[in-house]
Amino acid sequence: MNAAEQVGSKRNAGYRAADMVEDGMIVGLGTGSTVFFAMERLGERIAGEGLSIAGIPTSYQAALRARQYGIPITSLDEHPEIDIAIDGADQVDPDLNLIKGRGAALLREKCVCDATRRMLIVVDQTKMVDTLSAPVPVEVLPFASASVSRRLTLLDGRPVLREGIKKDGPVITDNGNFILDCDFGAIADPRHLEAEVASIPGALECGLFTAYGEKIVVIVGEEKGCRIVSLR
């Protein structure tokens, strides 16, 4: 898949997800290029159809983009139950386990995923894999980054502190924390690994999403449309 085909596939997935949003819904808004196509389409529907929704963005970047497209913003405090959420993924396996967090918004994304009734994951075909193997982002308390790194190494991971681009030093999340990208190789048991990482003091959240398969609908963008993957 060349770059132009990938962009087209992402647009197809994002637009399809946006067209599944109904009037009056509270919508979780993830972070990433494919989700931004969904926001673009939601903006078109708001302007052209009078669609009435409110979005809960998972990052400052998502909030800025939502405002650009005219999507009204609300919060998880005001709406602790969400009708539908749209987000991307770094990898998706056949059981709909995910690796997320390339945009460093995994902690808020998991909060939204947990709160939503239905989770639309928008990806292109390259994100669908037989076995999860991408580096797993871990959001860590800066105070504990060294001790968390040591514990991740004991789990046979290879953690690397994510460095900023056009900025000296580490990436700082919207929550004021660091990101460790941890390579575990092929992950045979994602659910067990997620639980192991969650047990480490100072590891606030990891990019493995293994508890939400029943509410996840994966929209896989293709060159000429989309295909839908779910466990139901």
* Annotated binding-site positions for substrate: 31-34, 87-90, 100-103, 127
Residue located via tokens 């000296």: 168
Whole-angstrom distance, CA of residue 36 vs CA of residue 206: 23
Checking phi first, is residue 110 left (phi over 0); if not, alpha (psi -120 to 50) or beta? alpha
Binding residues: 31-34, 87-90, 100-103, 127
Whole-angstrom Cα distance, residue 159 to residue 224?
Answer: 39
Q: Are 154 and 136 in contact (CB under 8 A)?
A: no
What is the C-alpha separation between 201 and 131, in angstroms, rounded?
A: 27
Contact 130, 96 (CB under 8 A): no
Inter-residue contact 172 to 145 (CB < 8 Å): no
The number of angstroms, rounded, from the C-alpha of 202 to the middle of its chain's C-alpha atoms is: 21
Residues in CB range of 31: below 8 A, 6 or more apart = 57, 58, 59, 61, 62, 87, 88, 103, 105, 109
Name the residue type at position 13. Answer: A
What are the helix (H) ranges across 98-155? 106-115, 145-154
> Is the Cβ–Cβ distance between 109 and 100 less than 8 Å?
yes
Question: Is 223 labeled as catalytic in the residue annotation?
Answer: no
Q: Which of 81, 109, 205, 223 is catalytic?
A: 109
Would you name the residues annotated as active-site residues? 109
